[in-house]
Amino acid sequence: MLSPQEALDRAQDLADRARKAGADAADAVFGASSSEGIQVRLGNLEDVERSESEHISLRVFVGRRSASIGSSDLSPQALDELAARALSMAKAAPEDAFAGLAPEDLLTSAPWPELDLLDPSEPSPQALRAAALEAEKAARAIAGVSNSDGATASAGSGVFALATSHGFAGAYGSTSHSVSVSIVAGEGSAKQRDYAWRSAHHREDLPPPAEIGALAGERAVARLNPGRMASGPMPVVFDPRVGGSLIGHLTGAISGSAIARRSSFLLDRLEEQIFAPGIVLVEEPHTRRGLRSRPFDGEGLATRTRNLVEDGRLTGWLLDSASARQLGLAPTGHAARGGGGAPGVSVGNLHLQPGTATPEALMADIEDGVYITELIGHGVNGVTGDYSRGASGFRIVGGQIAGPIAEFTVAGNLLAMFAGLSAANDLEWHRAINVPTLRVDGMTIAGD
């Protein structure tokens, strides 16, 4: 795989070819990745996967007309043809008053923040297999576990480079390591399945594989013999591994494209009290070894730490250059680039600041409620905020976790849910969106 500098040279070369072909402006993105994964099941090797890919994409502008195109053929002849086709496409495209590169005066430049995203060690296939076997063995050792869907250990690396015709050039690399286990408990029609999974840029930041496997086994056994819930309004507590999805709905609703299209339930609520006073949601794109850390965004603008929610109030939108122009605002450094096309929007590492109560204290006054560990389906309306998802987890009775429950639906509206949200003090720092245990009162449970 190319080094970051070699990747950047490729991107700059393609942007230059586009200008020479007649583009008024252009940017080029080069991305490459490689990964290897070993899967085992019931102590035996199940699968070995190795993948490598590289792709370059070009976006060109002719006046206010633009087009995007990409290729995995990086030969000089192919790149010349790519630039020529992009120009022809742009000339035939409709005009877009908001199209264009990021404002030149807002571009960032090196030196970049030191993010420590590269692990110099590369595990061998034998080491990956040993990790997967260790994780599965620990899961199968939990009393009540009856079968395994397998365990996987993987490692990979990637590089991202962006070059624009108006002066930005930047690239960075990263590595990834992960271990996952999916395990089955019980027999016959009473079987239950659960999992555990961890990922990090550095292998040393992963827990021992046996710890991940044991957690998967314990979770599966805890789900055995689930009961059913009666329907009605009641408090709902979200486990941290599912609570982050609530924050994901928030970031989707404050993306510039949703606001510009007027298709967000948070439209016209900028700087309003969305959460209870004291709630703070922090974005930290420069966290060392953070899963979503990056030195610059997909248009060459600086990323920075900011509070998306401050004392319960919404502080701003997430804007790329196009949506910023449409709204008459400045871009915020949240542009993201995938395999090609115009930028989207993404955020850096997020965390909801913890409260002061333990999870036990947070639910101590709940006489009858639910503790959710799994959410199913996609029943969320981003325009109205209406929320309805299948769920499973545990009953809360008299302030204590009781038996497992399944096959119920939890419903509400995200505006009311955010306003009534309270947080425990058990924040952990190993996900892209990190939240503590969350409580939301007054949701509707649809069960029996």
Q: Are 199 and 242 contained in the same domain?
A: no
Question: Among residues 168, 197, 222, which one ends one of the domains?
Answer: 222
> Does one domain contain both 134 and 91?
yes
Look at residue 189 and tell me whether its pLDDT is greater than 90: no
Residue 163 belongs to domain with CATH number: 3.30.2290.10
DSSP alpha helices (H): ranges in 141-223?
A: 209-222
Q: What is the chain's mean pLDDT, rounded?
A: 96
Range of the domain at 296: 226-448
Calculate the alpha carbon distances from 7 to 74, 81, 152, 156, 241 in Å: 11, 19, 30, 17, 35
Closest CA to 363 of 228, 231, 234, 232: 234
Final residue belonging to a domain, choices 169, 188, 222: 222
- Final residue belonging to a domain, choices 222, 252, 284: 222
Q: What is the pLDDT of residues 8-39, one digit of tens each?
A: 999 999 999 999 999 999 999 999 999 999 99
**Would you state the torsion angle of the CA atoms of residues 326, 299, 335, 282, taken in this order, to the nearest 10 degrees?**
-110
188 in the same domain as 236:
no
Q: Which residues contact 2 (CB under 8 A, 6 or more apart)?
A: 10, 30, 32, 54, 159
* Per-residue pLDDT tens digits for 229-241: 999 999 999 999 9
CA–CA distance, 48 with 69 (Å, rounded to integer): 33
Q: What is the pLDDT of residue 131?
A: 98
Q: In what order do the strands lie in the sheet with 350-352?
A: 313-314, 306-310, 281-283, 350-352, 433-434
Please check whether residues 38 and 140 belong to one and the same domain: yes
Is 203 found in the same domain as 184? yes
* Shared-domain flag, residues 216 and 231: no
pLDDT in the model for residue 378:
87
**Element of type H or E holding 11:** helix 4-21
* pLDDT 10s digits, 407-440: 999 999 999 999 999 999 999 999 999 999 999 9
Residue 119 shares a structural domain with residue 230:
no
* Number of separate domains in the chain: 2
State the pLDDT confidence band at 138, using cuts at 50, 70 and 90: very high
Bridge partners, residue 433, by sequence = 350
HSE of 356 in the Cβ direction (CA atoms, 13 Å)?
1
- Helical H segments across 141-239, by residue range: 209-222
Is-above-0.75 flag for pTM?
yes
Single-letter amino acid, residue 373:
T
189 shares its domain with 235 = no
* 317 and 294 belong to one structural domain: yes
Reduced 3-state DSSP string for 349-408: CEEECCCCECHHHHCCCCCEEEEEEEEECCCECCCCCEEEEEEEEEEEECCEEEEEEEEE
pLDDT confidence band for 339 (50 / 70 / 90): confident
Greatest alpha-carbon pair distance for the chain in Å reads 72
For residues 149 and 172, membership in a common domain is answered with yes
In terms of domains, do 146 and 254 share one? no
Q: What is the pLDDT of residue 340?
A: 75
Strand partners, 198: 179
Q: Give yes or no: residues 202 and 282 share one domain.
A: no
